Amino acid sequence: MAVKVAINGFGTIGKRVAEAIVKQDDMELIGVTKTRPDYLAMAASKRGLLYVPENKLEDFKKADLEVAGTIDELFQKVDVVVDATPGGVGKEYKPLYEKYGVRAIFQGGEKHEVAGFSFSTLCNYDDAKDKQFVRVVSCNTTGLLRLLCTLNKEFGVERVRATIVRRGADPHETKKGPIDAIVPNPVTLPSHHGIDVRTVLPVDIATTAVVVPTTLMHVHVVNVILKEEVSRDQVIEALNKAPRILLVPTKISGIKDTAKLIEMARDMGRKRHDLYELAVFEESISVNGKELFLMQAVHQESIVTPENVDAIRAMFGLATKEESIRKTDESLGLVR
């Protein structure tokens, strides 16, 4: 029987996960929540999927939007809630999930402790089985973990130092910046990204971060000390074998930057230019004994979509890791 899923927080991440759930043959989307009537609420209402807080029913009535029920009613109808509310709001909902005995998947904006278990498919899929609460790590952490768990499995990872060049805002976020600055954020070292990696992969890692005026993607400049000496070809072979990592040969493809990566996603017909794959610039891969350098790009709005789908299969024991990756990636059209 299909696992019944609710999406709480129907924004950047929530709407993508909702659409991905609809594409799975072992999951059923029962409803999404909105706290304010807007165009997304209208779309959900037309499909009979709109659930709202009880104290907001009147607002939706005034906006002439039909609702299928209250948020509390939704949580009682489903097996799992994907909580994609803004960072920090998910923890406020946890008591409600506990009250109704429903499982929940939090996002990277929540602290690890909220779920007590942080998830990334390539690293710890099997450990999510039977958990009530799981947290899918953030976009940057997902990008780092796809790389590091692949390298760790093949060669062992001794130490990681990385700089995260973060996008200033998502494309629709008109009130965020910077518009004309490069902002060390945080200015104190290390940044939280490496600390977050360690909630999944216990490795010596330190990261720094700067925010730049772009909306499209993040870029990571990564330096890894491996446990054994490797050749560049071995690294390329390992990354080529791994799912969800796309090696981009910049010279022959002409894709030399994040703008062109996003243009490629558009030309591939990806909805909202979503690029679920971690994009590694192939020519940036450089090896010296045990030391590896590379640069990679993360489409922040979409990279965690496949991991949210896998997290449901992992929690409910619906499929093996390999089977889940195959089903998720085929349904979303990943090329790697």
Q: At its nearest, how many Å lie between ligand NAD and the CB of residue 319?
A: 24
Q: Which of 11, 69, 171, 213 binds ligand NAD (CB under 6 A)?
A: 11
By CB under 6 A, the count of residues binding ligand NAD is 24
Which residues 50-79 are close enough to bind ligand NAD by CB under 6 A? none
* Active site residues per annotation: 139
Q: Which residues pair with 211 in a beta bridge?
A: 166, 183
- 138 contributes a contact to ligand NAD by CB under 6 A: yes
- Is residue 296 near ligand NAD by the rule CB under 6 A? no
| Rounded Cα distance, 120 and 307, in Å | 6
The answer to the question of residue 141 lying near ligand NAD (CB under 6 A) is: no
Question: Would you say 248 and 219 are in contact if contact means Cβ atoms under 8 Å apart?
Answer: no
The residue number with the shortest CB distance to ligand NAD is 11
Cα separation values, 32 from 59, 223, 252, Å? 17, 41, 43
Question: Quick check: 9 binds ligand NAD (CB under 6 A)?
Answer: yes
Residue 250 and residue 302: Cα distance in Å, rounded?
22
Q: Please say whether the beta carbons of 278 and 245 come within 8 A.
A: yes
Taking CB under 6 A as the criterion, the residue among 12, 70, 132, 331 binding ligand NAD is 12
44 binds ligand NAD (CB under 6 A): no
Whole-angstrom distance, CA of residue 88 vs CA of residue 112? 11
Q: Other C-beta atoms within 10 Å of 195: how many?
A: 14
What is the contact mask toward ligand NAD in residues 13 to 42, using x (rule: CB under 6 A)? xx------------------x-x-------
Q: Counting contacts by CB under 6 A, is residue 132 touching ligand NAD?
A: no
Under rule CB under 6 A, residue 307 binds ligand NAD: no
**Is residue 108 at the binding interface for ligand NAD, with CB under 6 A as the rule?**
yes
- Rule CB under 6 A: choose which of 304, 314, 315, 334 binds ligand NAD: 304
Nearest 10 degrees: CA dihedral of 54, 60, 65, 67? 0
316, two tokens: 């409910």
Structure tokens at 59: 């607002």
Within positions 151 to 180, which residues make up the interface with ligand NAD, using CB under 6 A?
170
299/327 with CB nearer ligand NAD: 299
Residue 308 interacts with ligand NAD (CB under 6 A): yes or no: no
Are the CB atoms for 93 and 8 separated by under 8 Å? yes
Query: CB 171 → ligand NAD: shortest distance, Å?
Result: 10
Q: Per rule CB under 6 A, is residue 45 in the interface with ligand NAD?
A: no
∠ Cα 97 5 67 (to 5°): 85
Distance in Å, CB of 250 to ligand NAD, minimum: 24
DSSP letters spanning 126-173 = GGGTT-SEEEE--HHHHHHHHHHHHHHHHT-EEEEEEEEEEESS-TT-
Shortest spacing between CB 254 and ligand NAD, in angstroms: 27
Chain residues in the site for ligand NAD (CB under 6 A) = 8-14, 33, 35, 84-87, 89, 107-110, 138-139, 170, 300-301, 304
